[in-house]
Chain A
Amino acid sequence: QKEVEQNSGPLSVPEGAIASLNCTYSDRGSQSFFWYRQYSGKSPELIMSIYSNGDKEDGRFTAQLNKASQYVSLLIRDSQPSDSATYLCAVIYAGNNRKLIWGLGTSLAVNP
């Protein structure tokens, strides 16, 4: 059974702090990794995709991938109240016909 695991939270950080969200996956054959943000009552929207080991930065967001340890993380710098949402991690496994396996999400609350 392919799995993607995230802490459900809620993760609470003060405004301006760094929020760190983590995701682990079970299959070393995983190829592609995605972070989505979902506001309450809305659909998921892509924040970052990462395909190779290391860091990938986009504005205040940094995705980090470590395939040897089978984890992917998302750092949000200078957190804002508007970042309060559920963050979903998703992984494509080799041989899974390119279907995404989803984590249950981590709820983030940024307090003013």
Chain B
Amino acid sequence: NAGVTQTPKFQVLKTGQSMTLQCAQDMNHNSMYWYRQDPGMGLRLIYYSASEGTTDKGEVPNGYNVSRLNKREFSLRLESAAPSQTSVYFCASSTIGGTSTDTQYFGPGTRLTVL
């Protein structure tokens, strides 16, 4: 039981390049989230998917797109990377019901640098 996995762990891009961050969970959770974390800014929600087949914008969606590929996988795409997107990206998942309702479980993160 791996929980939430993310790839890659580290990435360096040049301005204008594109890339996709991958996230998968094996906990049969319905909801998945993408956050970015910057010093002094805390965790900010980029996009989320409340259930398979749905996605919605969070606080800071500009410059990003997402795909909920199936119940397990939720990817984040940067179409044209900018230095302002240098950050640590976390994927998380949660479910409703039971003693851990709405508890979000996080992946290990992707450290992205855009030059």
Contact = CB atoms under 8 A, between A and B. Distances in A.
B103 A102 contact: no
Nearest to A6: B42
B107 to A, nearest CB: 6
B92 to A, nearest CB: 8
B42 A49 contact: no
B109 A88 contact: no
- Of A46, A97, A98, chain B has the most CB atoms within 10 Å of the CB of A98
B103 A46 contact: yes
Interface in A39-62: 42-46, 49
Contacts of A46: 103-105
A34 B100 CA distance: 11
A102 B43 contact: yes
Interface in B63-114: 90, 94, 96, 100-109
B58 A99 contact: yes
Interface of A: 32, 34, 42-46, 49, 88, 90, 92, 97-100, 102-105
Nearest to B104: A100
A64 to B, nearest CB: 19
Nearest to B4: A43
Interface of B: 31, 33, 40-43, 45, 48, 50, 56, 58, 90, 94, 96, 100-109
Given A88-B43, A105-B42, A43 B101 contact: no
A43 B42 contact: no
Contacts of A32: 101-102
A63 to B, nearest CB: 13
Contact of B40 (A43, A44, A88, A104): A104
A92 B31 CA distance: 14
Nearest to B107: A43
A98 B50 contact: yes
Contacts of A42: 108-109
A97 B90 CA distance: 20
B42 A97 contact: no
